[in-house]
Structure 1
Amino acid sequence: MAEAAARASGTLKQYQLDAVIDGQISPEKPEVLFKDLEAVGHGAYADVFKALDLRNNEVVAIKKFKKKSREEFDDILKEIKFLKGIKSPHLTNLKGAFFSTNNKVWIVMDFCQGSVFDAIQALKSPLYEAEIRDISFNVLKGLEYLHNSEKIHRDIKAKNILVSDNGVVKLADFGGADLSKKDGRCNSFVGSPYWIAPEVIMAMDTGTYSYPVDIWSFGIFVIEMAEMNPPLFEMQSMSALYHIPQRDPPTLKADTWSTEFRAFLARCVAKDPVDRGTATSLL
């Protein structure tokens, strides 16, 4: 059925058709299933829209990819396969993947009103310790699920932590995420510069890294919530990448934070990955 529907379009390339046959992407045309309500984000590779699912009147988010080269498609398909393997209230979950009428990929996800980054910018001030504690708990629950599923997010930061209309905090943006090998190791350079763990930067020398990279990035995200920006943000990104492995672990600047909060952060940003807490132990 899927193959017949795909061939009926007459325009899919073989590698796109293979994704339909394999059940990764639906042959249904999303333009008749969803109605755009408003644009909520624009990027180099995709635009994101708030939309209405006409089948059940559910509000969803649709990520519409702009380009369709073979290399870019392979990356998109990797993200789709990753999303199909996860299901948690602490993650933005996949609702479907489609080829539009012009054969661009649309990924349909849970809709969330905004990100933690948006909240910080709207407030124009850092978050309170109690607010950071509540958000951190939910992010750690999401990381616990991913790590127990042998998956690494690799891009934890405020822009990738979303908040739903009813206040549920969810991890999002799994474009850089990876299914780890059975020993939990990865070796590719993935992540956002200011949040990236030292061992990712040094991966070409040391070989591999694992789940603790998410804990480091989570710790930098905690500082971001407490200070509005990650450490070294005043530097150019390439300079920050040089200094992260060289410097001592970052700490909070103000002396108003509790001793317990400082100790919690220190467990997240230990330079040696072995010394970091796990998502479970930090809960």
Structure 2
Amino acid sequence: MSGELERDYTVGDEIGRGRYGVVSRCHSTLTGECFAVKSIDKRLIQDDAVDSLCLQNEAKLMQLVSGHPNVIGFFDVYEDDDFLHVVLEYCAGGDLFQRITARPALAESEARRFLLPLMEAIAHCHNHGIAHRDIKPDNILFNSYNELKLADFGSAECFGGGGLMSGIVGTPYYVAPEVLAGRDYNETVDVWSAGVILYIMLAGIPPFYGESAHEIFEVVLRANLRFPRKVFSSVSAEAKDLLRRMLSKDVSRRFSADQVLRHPWMTNGGDSIDVGLLA
């Protein structure tokens, strides 16, 4: 453990674990305030050039986008020979995966209340030239005030100036087809992933399903979007229109994050967010 980190924070129990490290609860030695610290073991990725670059980028990119109310707060970074420690906002309210799997499907008003702050966060990142590239319910957290927070920028990339990105990153159900196809792609891969989340919230099932990662990749590559009548009979035409625009295989026709926020389904129901409904 970094001596400087231990000087400033008291590190407590583990609250999460990933491929390259752990997330622990910690408290400021000065104020007693609770935070989370993501400790990444650099020795585990020293032979992987791509992951090593992502590690170097993560803290830098988080500093650029932190400060938005729907992006997880970034506070400190410490580095020693073996570890990188990133001190983040502590989110005690769990993640979106837990909330949307607790019930078969959500009402459109509830789905909108999750999608709106998520798209605000994505638009904020895109307007700063940063693509998240791993939008999924597990990376969407809630703090103790039930505010939605986009987290885990380990796969994020800078595309400033309208540049394209490359590299296969993401999670099977949520990754865009152009990523799997090995083509260069733009930031709307995040819109695709958010569209998958919206579909799951409204239908209770993913739009592109397979029994294995390979099968999922095959159906994602085909991107044959369907709205089964049994599942979507009570879903509005406006919601299905938005899904078609977010889950367009033709990238030139896919909506940007800002366009999603301006879509009638978002704006017509865009009353103030009732925090109680997020609980």
Same fold (TM over 0.5): yes
TM class, shorter-length:
0.7 to 0.9
**1:195 aligned counterpart, secondary structure:** coil
8 A contact 1:223–1:229 mirrored in 2: yes
Return 5+ residue gaps in structure 2 as ranges: 262-279
Q: Are positions 1:135 and 2:114 aligned together? A: yes
Aligned residue among 265, 268, 277 for 2:246: 268
**1:52 to partner: Cα distance:** 1.4
**1:67 to partner: Cα distance:** 4.1
- Which entry has the higher C-alpha Rg, 1 or 2? 1
Aligned residue among 35, 45, 49 for 2:10: 35
Q: Are positions 1:93 and 2:73 aligned together? A: yes
**1:198 to partner: Cα distance:** 1.2
**1:215 aligned counterpart, secondary structure:** helix
Residue 106 of structure 1 corresponds to which residue in structure 2? 85
Q: How many residues align?
A: 253
Say if 1:267 and 1:73 are closer, same or farther in 2 by CA, change over 3 A: closer
Cα displacement string for residues 120-163 of structure 1 (whole angstroms, at most 9, x for unaligned residues) = 34x24333221110111101111111111111111111111111
Q: Are positions 1:45 and 2:24 aligned together? A: no
**1:231 to partner: Cα distance:** 2.9
Cα displacement string for residues 200-256 of structure 1 (whole angstroms, at most 9, x for unaligned residues) = 1123xxx41102211111100112223444333442111211221224124463312
Residue 34 of structure 2 corresponds to which residue in structure 1? 59
Identity %: 26
Aligned residue among 155, 158, 168 for 2:134: 155
Residue 96 of structure 2 corresponds to which residue in structure 1? 116
Residue 144 of structure 1 corresponds to which residue in structure 2? 123
Aligned residue among 132, 146, 149 for 1:167: 146
Return 5+ residue gaps in structure 1 as ranges: 1-26
**2:16 aligned counterpart, secondary structure:** strand
Cα displacement string for residues 149-195 of structure 1 (whole angstroms, at most 9, x for unaligned residues) = 11111111111111111011111111111001422311211111111
8 A contact 2:188–2:254 mirrored in 1: yes
**1:44 to partner: Cα distance:** 2.0
8 A contact 1:116–1:158 mirrored in 2: yes
